[in-house]
Copies of this chain bind each other. A is one copy, B any other.
């Protein structure tokens, strides 16, 4: 909080006039960032895709490119998840929202009859959701050094290979 106040050229106490707790501040920051980046619209765009396969690709691209934008605040929120109920709920809600995107993509595949036959929609959603987790992005880009573009591209192929039935 001291650091944040400094950057804002405020006293630490003044920050508390705007946000009651650290968690609240971070959560507000995520909303602000979302608005700034027009995330809603970008995710909405992925819903326009016709085929399930296209939709999957569009969703991965939209979400995958969103991660680095929110990673700073996201990491801070994640770090306090274990000790702060408010932070945990905010994070989990975000992840549940994201999961709906996954479920929608899987559903589209399912309707197309292109969902890999040995995966139920639920399990497929679990897999996609986990594959696209922020932690995985962290590992692949920051630890393994994948450039962002490679991350998007490789995850798209990966997801497709796992989830989409091989075209006869």
Contact = CB atoms under 8 A, between A and B. Distances in A.
Contacts of A118: 157
B130 A140 contact: yes
A-B pairs with the 4 shortest C-beta distances?
A: A135-B135, A126-B144, A130-B139, A130-B136
A160 to B, nearest CB: 11
Interface of A: 75, 79, 82, 118, 123, 126-127, 129-130, 133, 135-136, 139-140, 144, 146, 154, 157-158, 161-162, 166
Given A129-B144, A130-B140, A162-B162, 19 more contacts: A75-B82, A79-B79, A79-B82, A123-B154, A126-B140, A126-B144, A126-B146, A127-B154, A129-B139, A130-B136, A130-B144, A135-B135, A135-B136, A135-B139, A136-B136, A158-B162, A161-B161, A161-B162, A166-B166
